[in-house]
Chains A and B, each alone.
Chain A
């Protein structure tokens, strides 16, 4: 990006040209009471070195997954990232903010996106995927908009086992649309079909389920999916691409729209972003697909080429009739995911899935034996489970960080009321030693009579 300075002399010249003497005169039309009449809380300019030092000091106050074994998840996970992902994705050809609208100069970018879409289709068991959205929460929100547009209904029914952060995003984005959101309660961390069926009706646009769900449980959703389809609702499944190595895909289960967070695929946790929204749907819905899509075609000489396709869905053409106002994608993050998947391969993904499952089962069983610790849900768990600790989850969290572990995510941090509840996540990077240390420290915590 070019840095264009704006000197006092240049500013005076511009003001003179406009015909005013000061910036204050220029802003004269804005009434005083409407202005921010305080000075901005921003320090004076600093040298590059000073800024760097300050940023490093600030960053060092944070405990990252590099500093301590990380058992935290709830939507963002500490998976292994092969070094080749960094090397390939940092090539300058990929690090571009350029929108590939001109296919003749963007074949590389377009092909990467096309490969990305193909992989997402394969993982989710769906016929069409877009070029990605901002993150998992946005993807869910867009899926809901799509279902509302398609069914012309105004009610959404979602399970309590859908990530509460995603639900909040979807509610915020659809705030002014007059949509009614109903939450179906869970039993033992699973979505019971009867509870959901009682809330179903022919005014429901979408039924939203998560698989594996927010509590890490692989739920049997077939009955609910059938019930939803009987009343003409669309089924949206929030899923996790890492789980697709070992589970049936949502497409096989009968989902109409499948969304998810792709951070796990070769992307760092990065303090919460940028992440990667995954979005796939049935052919029936493709013309309501939000965001970008790349297709493959032939040029005049019959050679294969990649182009942005079905552009007429987009808001620059459809304006107020468009389903979505998103017109971009997470190009670089999606590129990393594409490289990651191509390096790992189907066998590798399956191996990672199995490793996550085994570790989760191991720690779950070990923690059950610790006095005062309970695991309320039966499972089966994929990569995460809920544990209830003595005292509060926040106290336990504090204790464990003093021991050098990031033990999990207290549910209260996600606005849930269970003060004892802590979500514990296990990726393939958690070692036997780390898990055993976790159990040992949990015993210490229990013995020290924390409550």
Chain B
């Protein structure tokens, strides 16, 4: 199970990585494995305000639908348009081309403590 060390995680299996002040968000390899073949992602509109722990969209696999929970509060700066045509990229590259949204954080440092370190997330998923 691949758990990149340059990301932080949520207990709902999202990952978040800060790049030049913008937070890149996706779901983990563990999450895509649990879901199975992803067929659709309902993305938020650009400019949508996210709140840590609250749903900002849904991800639909062949036999299940899951909510996407925001790892941090902020504003959606960009969404991965590729997911419209090829949502399965989430299964193939959950930490790369399968990213879901970019969020401009409002209080990253303050909210960081709510997130899991790679070690803590590894404990969570191997439990």
**Least distance between B41 CB and chain A CB atoms (Å):** 11
B12 within 8 A of A: no
Residue of B with least CB distance to A288? B42
Q: How far is the CB of A252 from the nearest CB of chain B, in Å?
A: 26
Asked whether, in the complex, the Cβ of B61 is within 8 Å of the Cβ of A312, the reply is: yes
The residue that A287 contacts in the complex, of B42, B61, B62, B64, with Cβ under 8 A, is B42
Give the complex CA separation of A312 and B67 in angstroms.
13
Measured between beta carbons, the chain A residues less than 8 angstroms from B63 are 312, 317
A residues 306-358 touching B (CB-CB < 8 Å): 312-313, 317-318, 321
Chain B 24-60 interface 0/1 with A at a Cβ cutoff of 8 Å (1 = within): 0000000000000000101000000000000000101
Q: How far is the CA of A312 from the CA of B65 in the complex (A)?
A: 6
A288 to B29 alpha-carbon distance, docked (Å) = 27
Q: Is the CB of B42 within 8 A of A317?
A: no
Shortest Cβ distance from B77 into chain A, in angstroms? 21
Q: Is the CB of A287 within 8 A of B67?
A: no
Minimum CB distance partner of B55 in chain A: A321
The smallest beta-carbon distance between A269 and chain B, in angstroms, is 40
Residues on B with beta carbons closer than 8 Å to the beta carbon of A321: 58, 65, 67
**Minimal Cβ-Cβ distance residue in A for B67:** A321
Interface residues of A toward B: which range? under 10
Q: Is the interface of B mostly helix, strand, loop or mixed?
A: strand
The CA of A109 and the CA of B7, in the complex, are separated in Å by: 50
Interface of A, secondary structure class, is helix
In the bound complex, CA of A313 to CA of B60 (Å)? 9
A287 to B67, CA, bound (A): 14
- 1/0 per residue, CB under 8 A from B, across A275-290: the answer is 0000000000001000
Report the separation of the CA atoms of residues A287 and B65 in the bound assembly, to the nearest whole angstrom.
11
Centre residue among B40, B60, B64, B65 by max chain A CB count within 10 A? B65
Bound state CA distance, A313 and B65, in angstroms? 8
Residues of chain B lying within 8 A (CB to CB) of residue A313: 65
- In the bound complex, do residue A312 and residue B64 qualify as a contact, i.e. CB atoms below 8 Å apart? yes
Shortest CB-to-CB span from A448 to chain B, Å, is 66
Give the Cβ gap from B39 to chain A, nearest Cβ, in Å.
8
Q: In the assembled complex, how far is the CB of residue A161 from the closest CB belonging to chain B, in whole angstroms?
A: 33
A313–B63 Cα gap in the complex (Å)? 10
Tell me the smallest distance from the CB of B78 to a CB of chain A, in Å.
21
| A residues less than 8 Å from B40 (CB atoms) | 287
Complex Cα spacing A210 to B77, Å: 40
Docked Cα-Cα span, A321 to B68, in Å, equals 13
Q: Chain B residues with Cβ under 8 A from A317's Cβ?
A: 63-65
Known A318-B65, A321-B67; further 13 A-B contacts with Cβ < 8 A: A287-B40, A287-B42, A287-B60, A312-B60, A312-B61, A312-B62, A312-B64, A312-B65, A317-B63, A317-B64, A317-B65, A321-B58, A321-B65
Question: Which residues of A line the B interface, CB within 8 A?
Answer: 287, 312-313, 317-318, 321
Chain B residues in contact with chain A, CB under 8 A? 40, 42, 58, 60-65, 67
- The contact sample of 15 A-B pairs, CB cut-off 8 A, is A287-B40, A287-B42, A287-B60, A312-B60, A312-B61, A312-B62, A312-B63, A312-B64, A312-B65, A313-B65, A317-B63, A317-B64, A318-B65, A321-B58, A321-B67
